[in-house]
Amino acid sequence: MTQQEVLQEYLLRLADSDMILGQRLSELTGKAPAVEEELAVMNVALDLVGQARNWYEYAAELINDGRDADKLVFLRDAHEYRNLLMVEQPNDDYAVTMARQFFFDVWHYFTLKSLVNASDERVATIAAKAVKEATYHLRRSSEWVKRMGDGTEESHRRIQDAFNLLWRFTGELITPDEVDHAMFKAGIGPDPEQIKQDWFGMVREVAAQATLTVGEEDAWMYMGGKRGEHTEHLGHILAVMQFLPRAYPDATTW
């Protein structure tokens, strides 16, 4: 791939991960454990969708095949999506929702923090705005992890079970491939080794404060989302998310 094609791929990874997680969180409308939490979750979801749109718009300009941000979101099939497997996992109970958010937020925060210094001015500008929101997201999810882990016996059990359940998807967050390496070499993407160190450092720090146990670094992991290989959950998400634009192609979304 040319450097522009690699950048397009990287932008879609960022956009798709934000979009799918935003969609997952939106499923909690009317179902959150408290009114305040519902408002907070919806704000996080809106932040992620807004960030996704910025990445999609830049990707659409580079791809330049007539598709805009809407079409990239609503008219691609599951195998064309490049989101992390973590973000498509079901909400289940609220401990799973917050553990998923925490694992993602740590990766997202350090990734965006690095992208602020990207040699690509457009990437740096988008990241500079997004990292402010990601900082709040990480603070919120880490506080929930600590609150649950160091809370009651029941809350501790639930968040530990959630960590155990989702750990098998964390490897994809910090395992680089040729696209990640190419973006780092071009001065755009973060240093993959630094992201790994930062991610493990913060996850372990928060887990220790929450009296939780984390998995092994060399544990077997599910991989493939960045290559378009997904769990069955993504197809169900897209079926709901894309119904209106596919049924009425000329309808206005966003």
pLDDT digits (tens, 9 = 90+) for 92-127: 899 999 999 999 999 999 999 999 999 999 999 999
% of the chain beyond a pLDDT of 70: 98
CATH class of 3-247: mainly alpha
Cα separation, 228 vs 238, whole angstroms: 14
pTM score over 0.85 = yes
Q: DSSP assignment, residue 88? A: G
State how far Cα 48 lies from the chain centre: 8
Cα separation, 140 vs 179, whole angstroms: 30
Q: DSSP assignment, residue 45? A: H
Domain boundaries, the chain: 3-247
